[in-house]
Every structure is written in structure tokens, then in C-alpha cells.
């Protein structure tokens, strides 16, 4: 009796890593550049930037192998600098996953070794390198921006996976699983591996939809629902409905949305929709952004929920938003008018001769730190762009000014 071949117990994603550029799914916009790197006598240090599951690590390993030199793969969250130094002994190419997880001080470690050519670094990151990677290190790396895999690329991955697993799924199931993976090949392979492990009578589309309900909660961060849910959150806040606001917040976060994107929307809403009716709304939203960046997820939902509900409950005024657009429309129609001479700074003797600053009244020299004085150019004098609203704190902020006519 012939013994069975040992089973490959590696995860499916690991077994299907591309062995050549032809095996790489998607990233058509980078093909020529990648081929040039593969053909070049010396590979420069690279940073592969893109969303999860788009093939960053696979490409990094492929490029590292193409050098023919010893290479090692390290994950930044799992290795401090002492461990990294040990792993680099006898190695000239380092594949480093999640570079953004290294602090700025840790990132400085690479500066001299890259400068000397001692090590070629092929790093990956899901975070925008403009903000997560130091300027000094970024200047020593060639940055390649990878895109989420489209439907065609995901179906290519699914075809290879089905061949590897020895299963066949109909097109409806593949369409469901590829849509549920949202451009992430690793997610798709995990779903296919799970589906292939089910009994054949449980592999129908309806059965998979019942067994994988959490997939239906995820939204397409690059598609329509991304903007639909964000729009619904802001409009619920604008409409002062805290229940709807926290519901759409939960939809976004449960669907895998980047919490910093949500924070940015809340900061804008605090200014556009709440505005001067509650001047504390903007500092609260900015504090929420800082809190989420500091503590991360999943606990980041706590300040996010507080801020969303606070903004929904706050009085509303878009007076400053409207004031800016009114001023902008005036400029587009009439163009900018000259600044009055008394408001110009006389930095030189010649400018004083021209009358710059002459007749300017310094408000702090007058009772209440206010004095009658024209600030708008002559051609715009008397035009009102800002109209106060009778909401929340805004009337008290305008207590000193003349009322609208």
C-alpha cells in the first residue's frame, strides 16, 4: 500500500504566493516598473504602500528572491531593534512588513545601513507613508502605491485557489465571495478555504450566506456604500438624530472603515453643521481624532460614539460655512479689491510715505477694545457675508455687534 503524500498544512494564502510576476494578480499600473526592478542588476530599497491583501508582501518576497542574495522577512510588530539586528546577521535584503509600526526613533535605525548599501530594505505599509514614515527614511525609499484588487484579479486568485483546493464553486458563489472580500485577496482565500471545508450540501449560495453573516456587515470602502454610510452619518448629525448617528457610525466601524476617516468627517461636521452654536464641538471632534490615533481600535469606538452623539445633540448653525461661500462667490464675480491703506503694514519708510498704516485705529486703545473703523475695501464696504443665527451660543458671541438689517 502506497503511503499518502504528506499534506501541506500551510495557509492557502502562503501556498499560493506568486513565483513570478506573471502569477501576480492585479497591479497592472505597476507591471512595467516591477519588471524593470526584476531585470535591474541592483534592486533599490522600496516601500510598498497599499490596503491589506493587495499583494504587498508577496511582491516584496518576489523582489527579494530576484536579487539572488540572502534575505529575511520580519514583521515590525513582532521585532524590536535588538531582535532585528540578530536577524540581519549574514543577510543583505530585509523584507519588513508593517514598517509604520516602528516608532520614528526605530525608523532612524535604517538610515545609515541604507546609506551605506549594507542592506536593501523592501518594506510594506498600509498607512499613508507621508504621515507614518519619517521624511529622512522616505527620501531613501522608492515608493510603490498598490491598489485594491478588482473583481477580475480576485476571480484570477479564486481560480488558482480552487485548483489548489480541488473544489469547484459556481459563478454565483464566486461572485458573492469576491464581493465580500472587498479587494482583499487574503480575505478571499480564507473564505474559499472555509467554504471548501464545508460538506458539499452546505456549499450552496444560500447556505454560505447564512453561515457567513458577518460578511454582509462589511461595506465596500472603495465603493458606493463607503460614501453612502458616511453621508448618512453626517446627515443624521445635521438632523439632530443621535440614534441614527450612532447606528451609521456602527455600520462604518463594523464594516472595517478606517476610524480616522470617520474622525475627519466628524471634525468637518463640527464646523459646518454645529459651528458657532456650540464652539466646543470642534475641539471635542479634534480631541476625538487625537484619542483614536492614540488608542486605536477596537476601543476607539468609545470616543467616536461620544462625539457623534454630542454633535447630534448640539444646537446647529452653518453661519460660518455660508459666510465663506458668500465671500468666495463675491470674489469670483468681482475679483479681489485692494486692501485699504490704513490696514496695510508700513514695513519701510517708502511705504510710510505712500500712506500705509496712516489713520489705523488700534482697537485695544479704545473702551471695550472696539472702535468704529472700515476694514473691507471701499468697493466691498457695507457688504454682509456673515449672518448670525439665533442658535445656541451664537447670539451671545454676537452680543457686541450690530444686528443684521
Q: Are residues 303 and 364 in the same domain?
A: no
Is it the case that residue 225 has pLDDT exceeding 60?
Answer: no
Is residue 22 within 8 Å of 59, Cβ to Cβ?
no
In a domain, 6, yes or no: no
In a domain, 15, yes or no: no
Per-residue confidence (pLDDT) for residue 267, from 0 to 100: 95
Is residue 262 within 8 Å of 297, Cβ to Cβ?
no
CA separation for the pair 121, 325 (Å, rounded): 48
Is it the case that residue 400 has pLDDT exceeding 70?
Answer: no
For the chain, give the mean pLDDT. Answer: 83
For residue 272, give its domain range. 224-313
Kindly state the average pLDDT of the residues 232-249: 93
> For residues 404 and 204, which has the higher predicted lDDT (pLDDT)?
204
Q: How far apart are the first and last CA of the chain?
A: 100
Q: Are residues 137 and 169 in the same domain?
A: no
Position 212 confidence tier, pLDDT thresholds 50, 70, 90: low
Per-residue confidence (pLDDT) for residue 280, from 0 to 100: 94
Q: How many domains does the chain have?
A: 4
For residue 301, give the CATH number of its domain.
1.20.272.10
Q: Are residues 300 and 231 in the same domain?
A: yes
> Nearest Cα to 153, choosing from 190, 124, 123, 181?
181
Name, of 123-137, 225-239, 296-310, the range with top average pLDDT.
Answer: 296-310
In a domain, 254, yes or no: yes
Average the pLDDT over each of 25-34, 107-116, 238-247, 393-402 and give the range with the smallest value.
393-402
In a domain, 239, yes or no: yes
Per-residue confidence (pLDDT) for residue 265, from 0 to 100: 93
CA separation for the pair 166, 147 (Å, rounded): 29
Name, of 32-41, 221-230, 294-303, the range with top average pLDDT.
Answer: 294-303
Is it the case that residue 300 has pLDDT exceeding 60?
Answer: yes
SS (H, E, C) 333-373: HHCCCCCCHHHCCCCCHHHHHCCCCCCCCCHHHCHHHCCCC
> Nearest Cα to 158, choosing from 145, 144, 142, 176?
176
Is it the case that residue 63 has pLDDT exceeding 90?
Answer: no
Is it the case that residue 402 has pLDDT exceeding 70?
Answer: no
> Nearest Cα to 266, choosing from 284, 247, 242, 244?
284
Residue 161 three-state SS: helix
Contacts of 263 (CB under 8 A, 6+ apart): 285, 288, 289, 292, 304
Q: Are residues 249 and 307 in the same domain?
A: yes
Per-residue confidence (pLDDT) for residue 222, from 0 to 100: 47
Residue 214 three-state SS: helix
Reply yes or no: is the peptide bond before residue 377 cis, omega within 30 of 0: no
Q: What is the pLDDT of residues 2-21, one digit of tens each?
A: 444 445 677 777 787 878 77
CA separation for the pair 258, 252 (Å, rounded): 8
In a domain, 325, yes or no: no
The three three-digit cell numbers of residue 224, written as one number: 458606493
Of 217, 246, 263, which residue sits at a domain end?
A: 217
Conformational region of residue 9, where left means phi above 0, alpha means psi within -120 to 50, and beta covers everything else: alpha
Of 198, 217, 236, which residue sits at a domain end?
A: 217
Per-residue confidence (pLDDT) for residue 404, from 0 to 100: 46
Position 318 confidence tier, pLDDT thresholds 50, 70, 90: very high
Q: Are residues 110 and 205 in the same domain?
A: no
Q: Are residues 42 and 133 in the same domain?
A: yes
Q: What is the pLDDT of residues 263-297, one digit of tens each?
A: 999 999 999 999 999 999 999 999 999 999 888 88
In a domain, 17, yes or no: no
Per-residue confidence (pLDDT) for residue 77, from 0 to 100: 73
Per-residue confidence (pLDDT) for residue 303, from 0 to 100: 94
Per-residue confidence (pLDDT) for residue 226, from 0 to 100: 59
Q: Are residues 261 and 340 in the same domain?
A: no
Q: Are residues 302 and 373 in the same domain?
A: no
> Would you state the torsion angle of the CA atoms of residues 150, 154, 155, 161, taken in this order, to the nearest 10 degrees?
170
Amino acid at each position: 500500500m502506497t503511503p499518502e503524500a504528506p499534506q501541506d498544512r500551510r495557509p492557502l494564502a502562503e501556498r499560493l504566493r506568486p513565483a513570478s510576476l506573471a502569477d501576480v494578480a492585479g497591479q497592472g499600473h505597476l507591471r512595467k516598473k516591477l519588471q524593470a526592478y526584476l531585470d535591474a542588476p541592483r534592486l533599490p530599497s522600496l516601500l510598498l504602500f497599499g490596503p491589506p491583501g493587495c499583494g504587498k508582501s508577496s511582491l516584496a518576497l518576489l523582489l527579494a528572491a530576484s536579487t539572488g542574495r540572502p534575505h529575511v522577512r520580519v514583521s515590525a510588530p513582532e521585532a524590536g531593534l535588538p531582535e532585528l539586528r540578530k536577524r540581519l546577521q549574514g543577510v543583505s535584503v530585509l523584507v519588513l512588513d508593517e514598517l509604520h509600526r516602528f516608532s520614528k526613533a526605530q525608523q532612524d535605525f535604517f538610515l545609515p545601513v541604507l546609506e551605506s548599501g549594507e542592506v536593501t530594505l523592501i518594506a510594506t505599509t498600509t498607512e499613508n507613508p507621508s504621515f507614518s514614515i519619517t521624511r529622512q527614511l522616505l527620501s531613501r525609499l522608492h515608493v510603490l502605491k498598490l491598489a485594491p484588487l478588482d473583481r477580475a484579479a480576485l476571480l484570477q486568485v479564486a481560480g488558482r485557489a480552487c485548483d489548489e483546493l480541488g473544489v469547484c464553486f459556481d459563478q454565483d458563489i464566486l461572485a458573492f465571495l469576491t464581493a465580500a472580500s472587498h479587494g482583499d485577496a487574503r480575505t478571499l482565500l480564507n473564505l474559499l478555504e472555509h467554504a471548501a471545508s464545508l460538506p458539499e450540501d452546505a456549499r450552496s449560495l444560500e447556505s454560505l450566506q447564512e453561515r457567513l453573516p458577518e460578511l454582509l456587515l462589511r461595506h465596500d470602502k472603495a465603493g458606493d456604500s463607503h460614501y453612502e454610510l458616511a453621508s448618512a452619518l453626517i446627515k443624521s448629525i445635521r438632523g439632530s438624530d443621535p440614534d441614527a448617528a450612532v447606528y451609521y457610525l456602527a455600520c462604518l466601524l463594523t464594516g472595517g472603515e478606517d476610524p480616522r476617516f470617520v474622525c475627519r468627517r466628524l471634525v468637518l461636521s463640527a464646523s459646518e453643521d454645529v459651528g458657532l452654536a456650540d464652539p466646543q464641538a470642534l475641539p471635542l471632534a479634534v480631541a476625538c481624532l487625537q484619542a483614536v490615533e492614540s488608542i486605536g481600535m477596537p476601543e476607539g469606538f468609545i470616543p467616536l460614539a461620544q462625539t457623534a452623539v454630542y454633535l447630534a445633540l448640539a444646537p446647529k448653525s452653518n453661519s460660518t460655512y455660508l459666510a465663506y461661500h458668500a465671500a468666495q462667490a463675491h470674489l469670483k464675480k468681482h475679483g479681489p479689491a485692494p486692501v485699504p491703506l490704513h490696514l496695510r503694514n508700513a514695513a519701510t519708510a517708502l511705504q510710510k510715505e505712500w500712506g500705509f498704516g496712516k489713520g489705523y485705529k488700534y482697537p485695544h486703545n479704545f473702551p471695550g477694545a472696539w472702535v468704529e473703523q472700515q476694514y473691507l475695501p471701499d468697493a466691498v464696504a457695507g457688504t454682509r457675508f456673515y449672518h448670525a443665527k439665533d442658535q445656541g451660543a451664537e447670539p451671545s458671541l454676537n452680543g457686541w455687534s450690530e444686528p443684521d438689517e
